[in-house]
Structure 1
Amino acid sequence: LRTNWISRDAAQKIYVEMKFTLRDCNSIPWVLGTCKETFNLFYMESDESHGIKFKPNQYTKIDTIAADESFTQMDLGDRILKLNTEIREVGPIERKGFYLAFQDIGACIALVSVRVFYKKCPFTVRNLAMFPDTIPRVDSSSLVEVRGSCVKSAEERDTPKLYCGADGDWLVPLGRCICSTGYEEIEGSCHACRPGFYKAL
């Protein structure tokens, strides 16, 4: 089973979330020795769609996926299917996109859903400074330093900075902007002072 070509957008590292059910081999008669309780996950990078062409030797194995829970014939009778969720990360991705492939090597499995995503630090406003969407580095131990820009009618007091972490969280706020003369801060933005009022120093 192979996905369509997936554009990586700005991502350098992607995550694959798989939800699946798997039947316990011991509950299936006459298949001992040939039944498996795992499947394999592969990927291949490419700059464009290859259409229906499929060359297995061009794919790189990500991992062998095993179920935490499997179901039996008795579960089937009770209409109980135990759903497993596994997430794997892949990276760095350097081409424009990629394919994912799933190899069944003899398991009684139902792949219920596959979600492909990447993490980013979302646009935010801190200390009257705006910080854009930022993609973390592939190296999860290093942070991306991002310089903020002051909101309208504000000016830098100290250079505003945030650091984008590997999990898409903003960390270590430094510096700030302040409202310009004649403006006051209200809920993260600068508003003109009302007639007869002035900004406190």
Structure 2
Amino acid sequence: GRRQRQPEPRGVGSTMETGGGGFLVPLLLLPLLLPGAAAEEVVLLDSKESQAELGWTSHPLNGWEEISGVDENYKPIRTYQVCNVMESNQNNWLQTGWIARRSGQRIFIELKFTLRDCNSIPGVVGTCKETFNLYYAESDSDLGRSIRENKHTKIDTIAADESFTQGDLGERKMKLNTELREIGHLSKRGFHLGFQDVGACVALVSVRVYYKKCLSTVQNLAVFPDTVAEAAFATLVEVKGTCVNHSEVDLDSPPRMHCSAEGEWLVPIGKCTCSAGFEEKDDGCEGKNGHSCSISILGPNQFISLLYCVQLPGIRAQCKQMELHFVNLAFVWFFLFFFSSL
């Protein structure tokens, strides 16, 4: 579904290099958004929407554990947690199922989690951590249930803005953290996400993975199709527009727009204009009053309207359709007259 624009995430992929089919523009152009040009998020994974067990791969067995819980709105969800803070040298891995990339070029990863304050746990000095690591493993097919650390690429170390204490547990306070990261320039059909715990007391409340696209729109009488955002942050993808019905391209300035990496349309250039005999209305072109070829079946001026209509070059195609309807109507009148006289 459509969502509001997210703040620019930290992490991998915020580069100034161009991607295929795009070009760099000054950042001053980025505020030139069009009205109603909000990005569309195409969701590839949302763990909160799962009604059954997630069934992700955990290693070793005494590491990450899948449990039932509730989110910030007290909706039942499936989560993963780990809290092996008493022993040092923890290396607990959790790997999602294979996530098909589809058309995504720049993949966003939204994590919601809670993390325990180590100072609120007695006897864990030196062994308790307050971070975990986020990885991805790119592949053309499901890697199965084996976790190969050497196949994973690190995205970032994730820390909590707020950690909870024993007192928060007693008061049933949920100090939920939200972190947004991204990966870009993917070349294979999909990927797995990996979460490495090194000794924290953490619960993954939800994992949401998506990419952005510019939604199909009409601007300056030109239709622009759905366009997937590029991977590079400052890259704009130029998209050619197609003139709406009964309009013609301005040859000196054909319609173009640019899809930003945030999935927003900006920098419109060129336009289409309504053909002769038509005028602009509601992002389209319709026939001017008296010259639109729409006639009443029983109207008294059909012959006059038809003869006048075919003289207008800009709407001859529409009038051809009316001619066919008129001929069919003439046959109906003929048969009615013939059979009524029998």
TM category, shorter:
over 0.9
Contact 2:106–2:232 under 8 Å retained in 1 = no
Superposed structure 1 runs of 4+ greater than 6 Å apart: none
Question: Partners of 2:142 and 2:200 in 1: how far apart?
Answer: 29
Listed one character per residue, the Cα deviations across residues 99-127 of structure 1 (whole Å, up to 9, x for unaligned) are 00111111111100011011111111101
Higher share of residues assigned strand:
1
- 1:161 and 2:256 are equivalent in the alignment: yes
Q: Which moved more, 1:151-160 or 1:66-75?
A: 151-160
**What is the CA-CA distance between 1:196 and the residue it aligns to?**
6.0
TM-score, L = length of structure 1: 0.94
Name the CA distance, whole Å, in 1 between partners of 2:169 and 2:243: 60
Residue equivalent to 1:77: 170
Contiguous gaps of at least 5 residues in structure 2 = 1-93, 293-342
> CA separation in 2, counterparts of 1:4 and 1:182?
58
Q: Of the candidates 138, 151, 156, which is equivalent to residue 244 of structure 2?
A: 151
- Does the aligned pair in 1 maintain the 2:277–2:291 contact within 8 Å? no
Q: Which residue in the other structure is 1:64 paired with? A: 157
Verify: 1:171 aligned to 2:279, yes or no.
Answer: no
**d(CA) in 2 for partners of 1:182, 1:85:** 56
Q: Give the drift of 1:136.
A: 2.5
Match of 1:41 in 2: 134
Match of 2:290 in 1: 195
Deviations 1:70-117 (A, max 9, x none): 011111111101000000111111101000011111111110001101
CA–CA distance in structure 2, aligned partners of residues 28 and 182 of structure 1: 79
RMSD between aligned alpha carbons?
Answer: 1.3
Q: Larger Rg: 1 or 2?
A: 2
Once the two structures are TM-superposed, the CA of residue 17 in structure 1 deviates from its matched residue by 0.4
User: Are 1:138 and 2:221 matched, yes or no?
Assistant: no
* Separation of aligned partners in 2, 1:113 and 1:153: 49
CA distance in 2, matches of 1:125, 1:66: 43
Q: Report the counterpart of residue 109 of structure 2 in structure 1.
A: 16
Task: Give the deviation of 1:68 after TM superposition.
Answer: 0.3
Shift of 1:34: 0.8
Q: Normalized per residue, which structure has more helix?
A: 2
1:52, CA displacement in angstroms?
Answer: 1.7
AA matched with 1:129: A
**Identity percentage of aligned residues:** 58
